[in-house]
Every structure is written in C-alpha cells, then in structure tokens.
C-alpha cells in the first residue's frame, strides 16, 4: 500500500528553484531514504510532506490527505524529528515526554520510551544541560510518542557516538518490523545503506534515481577489490594468471603489492588459485563498492551533464 505519493512537486524561494518536478512514492512499512548534496532540497521535501511548507505546484498525498490543507488531521498519524529543533531550556526530559504524550489520544507509554532510548539516567535533567547526542535521542523519542504510522527522521544520528548510532539503527529497524513507515534524510551513506529498503537521490532539485541501495551499487558494478602482499621472494612471482579467473576484471601490481578487482564472488577463486600455485600472501584486505561510491558516480555524471 502506498502511503506517500509525490508528483511534479515544485518549490522555490526568492526566484531560486529548489525543487523541480520531484516525483516518487513510499510504500507502507518500508524505510525510505532521501539523499542529496547540501542544498539539493532534501529537507524542503520532507517539510512539505510534514505540512510545514506549502509547495508551489504538484500533488502531495500523505496517508491519503494533503499535508498542507489537512495538517491537523495528519499530525495524529505522523511523527517528526526535525534537523533543528528546540525545547524550553528548563523543561526536564521526563516532562517533555509526558507533555508530548498528552497531545495524543492513544500515546505510547512515555516511560517505555525512556528505557528504549537510554534516557532513564537523565530523566530529571533540564534540556539546556543535555549533550547533543542526548538531545537527539530525546527528539527521536518525542517523534514516536504518538504511535505514528509514518516517522520522518532528519539527520537521524547527528551527534551520536558509534555505539549509540548502531543502537538507534536497530530501533529504527524494529519500527519497520511492526509496520511503521520510516522516511530518513541523511548524508551518512553507511547509515542509509544499512537501513533503507529504497533510496531517492535528489540532484539539482530533481530526482536522479529511486532504487534499493543494493541495486544502486550493482548499477555501478558491484565490484570487490582484494589487496594483498606477496611474500619476501614475491618479486619473481608472476601473478598474471589471476586475470584468467572467472569474474576478475583487473590485476594491478606495484612491487610486492597486488590488487585484484572483479565481481563480488571472486574471493574464494582467487584464494584457491594462489594456494594451488603455492604462493604465500599476507596483509589481505577486501573492500566492496559502497553506496557512497554509487552516489559519487551519480553526482559526477550529473556534473558532466550540466557542463555539457
């Protein structure tokens, strides 16, 4: 079931076009990412979906309603964690959650959210005294207090340490597992690659592509690079035979350092071929094409197209 439908969305400020014919759809129960360079219009899209900004043209439906004309009705069904938000300095963490819970007819137990988002230890702390990461966790918890059908998360893990980031990711995945639709705006490629079922890439105000992270990576080639060093007497070893292994695309050698690139299924075949010839290796490193590689490649294509 489609829960967000955007068609021909346009928005500009002071004569500058920010969104130009943006079209995409989001299905119920998926984690949908919106990516783009700074100034691409990511936050503007999300704020229009949330009913915070009015589009200049185009059609927008969130849970079947126009978010601008029926914002009050929609607010009961969505949760929002804004990129920049502020609470009164003196409000306590537990007071903020209790206050937000009072806005809804059937809120989540705010005490449960204290536990889930690691806020119990700071429940009595004033907002002004919270660190950046603590404020971020509180804002996410506030976005969930109304049992939303759709949650919008803008720069989800900004300010969180690596442990907190991964814990947050697992919470988001659990939201999807219970049927909540999640829309994420992020510039962290590993976050989007790990979490998102599909991704829309915004470029110069338009949608460059919408696809799964895996499909975007495969479109770039889905390559694997295996780097290793030859043993002390490796200078006399000929490694050109590696080029004939199925799936290998290239073999580069610099001194005793060798890099083999190809499809992602080459690792075992390369290892077996080296073992058969009794060639000892060390310092083995394996890296795969990432969503960041795909994003950069798309951006480069766009830049070349604009230059032409």
How many domains does the structure of the chain reveal?
Answer: 2
299 is a domain residue: no
CATH number, domain at 257? 3.30.70.980
Q: Does one domain contain both 156 and 39?
A: yes
pTM: predicted TM-score of the whole model, two decimal places: 0.76
Write out the residue range of the structural domain in which residue 256 sits: 223-288
Q: What is the pLDDT of residue 222?
A: 66
302 is a domain residue: no
Q: Does one domain contain both 156 and 281?
A: no
DSSP the chain: -EEEEEEEEEEEETTEEEEEEEEEEEETT-EEEEEE-TTSSHHHHHHHHTTSS--SEEEEEETTB-TTTTHHHHHTTEEEE-SS----TT-BHHHHHHHHHTTSSS---HHHHHHHTT-GGGTTSBGGG--HHHHHHHHHHHHHTT--SEEEEESTTTT--HHHHHHHHHHHHHHHHTT-EEEEE-S-HHHHHHH-SEEEEEETTEEEEEE-HHHHHHHHT-EEEEEEEE-TTGGG---GGGGGSTTEEEEEEETTEEEEEEETT-HHHHHHHHHHTT--EEEEEEEE--HHHHHHHHHHHHHHHHH-
Q: Does one domain contain both 280 and 189?
A: no
pLDDT in tens, 81-134: 876 678 999 999 999 999 999 999 889 999 999 998 989 999 999 999 998 888
Q: What is the pLDDT of residue 91?
A: 96
Q: Does one domain contain both 134 and 255?
A: no
Q: Residue 271 above 60 pLDDT?
A: yes
Which among 170, 193, 218 is the end of a domain?
218
Q: What is the pLDDT of residue 128?
A: 95
Q: Residue 233 above 60 pLDDT?
A: no
């Amino acid at each position: 079931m489609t829960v967000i439908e955007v068609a021909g969305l346009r928005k500009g400020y002071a004569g500058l076009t920010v969104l130009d014919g943006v079209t995409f759809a989001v299905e119920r129960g998926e984690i949908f990412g919106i990516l783009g360079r700074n100034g691409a219009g990511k936050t503007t899209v999300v704020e229009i979906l949330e009913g915070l900004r009015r589009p200049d043209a185009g059609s927008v439906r969130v849970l079947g309603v126009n978010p601008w004309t029926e914002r009050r009705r929609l607010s009961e069904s969505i949760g929002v964690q804004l990129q920049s938000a502020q609470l009164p300095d003196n409000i306590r963490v537990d007071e903020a959650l209790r206050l937000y819970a009072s806005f809804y007819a059937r809120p989540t137990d705010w005490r449960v959210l204290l536990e889930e988002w690691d806020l119990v230890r700071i429940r009595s702390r004033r907002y002004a005294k919270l660190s950046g990461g603590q404020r971020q966790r509180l804002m996410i918890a506030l976005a969930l207090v109304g049992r939303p059908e759709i949650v919008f998360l803008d720069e989800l893990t900004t300010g969180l340490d690596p442990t907190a980031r991964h814990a947050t990711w697992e919470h988001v995945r659990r939201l999807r597992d219970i049927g909540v639709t999640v829309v994420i705006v992020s510039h962290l490629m590993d976050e989007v690659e790990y979490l998102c079922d599909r991704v829309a890439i915004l470029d110069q105000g338009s949608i460059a592509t919408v696809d799964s992270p895996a499909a975007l990576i495969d479109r770039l080639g889905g390559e694997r690079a295996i780097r290793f060093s030859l043993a002390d007497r490796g200078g006399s070893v000929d490694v050109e035979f590696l080029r004939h292994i199925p799936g290998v695309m290239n073999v580069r050698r610099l001194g005793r350092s060798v890099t083999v690139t190809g499809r992602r299924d080459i690792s075992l075949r390369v290892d077996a071929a080296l073992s058969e010839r009794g060639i000892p290796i060390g310092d083995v490193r394996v890296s795969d094409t990432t969503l960041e590689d795909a994003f950069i490649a798309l951006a480069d294509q766009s830049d070349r197209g604009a230059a032409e």
